[in-house]
Amino acid sequence: MGESATAIPPGFHSITPHLQVNGAANYVDFLARAFGAVEISRSPGPGGRLMHARVRIGDSILLLHDHFPEFGSPPIAEGHWPLALNLYVPDADTTWGQAIAAGCEVLYPIADQFWGDRYGQLRDPFGFVWAIATHTEDVTPEEMQERQKKLFGAAA
């Protein structure tokens, strides 16, 4: 019998994204180039696909695997994922440049935002949207509301 385990394994947080990707091994390589991901583990599967891979980006773990329709995985609608992966980093502009150099396309240009982050969105070559951010100032709810009104007018 193994040792008793903690409910959340070391290095994990309560929520950990687990992505299904066509070309998971290539995606691991891309994540290293774009976001400095460090591969922790991988489990090869049939036909050269990955059954499971674990990478660390900053202080967070990302899980991923190849598409396995033969095991009931739903079809992948490339480039139309209904989510964005938010990545906080010490220097959003540097990470932004790395991601662009690795093949990401700009969706929302990086800029200082009214809520206190330097923030922008990119789509990676595999179709996932990444929001890159550095928190630059703590903004009170009142300041945020005032800034939002100034930016969007009465509609805010």
- Report pLDDT digits (tens) over 40-95: 999 998 888 999 999 999 999 999 999 888 887 777 776 666 688 999 999 999 99
Question: Predicted confidence band at 146 (pLDDT cuts at 50, 70, 90)?
Answer: very high
Domain 11-68 has CATH 1.20.1050.10: no
CATH 3.30.720.120 placement within the chain:
11-68
Q: Which fold would CATH assign to domain 79-156?
A: 3.30.720
Mean pLDDT of the chain: 90
DSSP 105-150: EEEEEEEE-TTSEEEEEEE-TTS-EEEEEEE-----HHHHHHHHHH
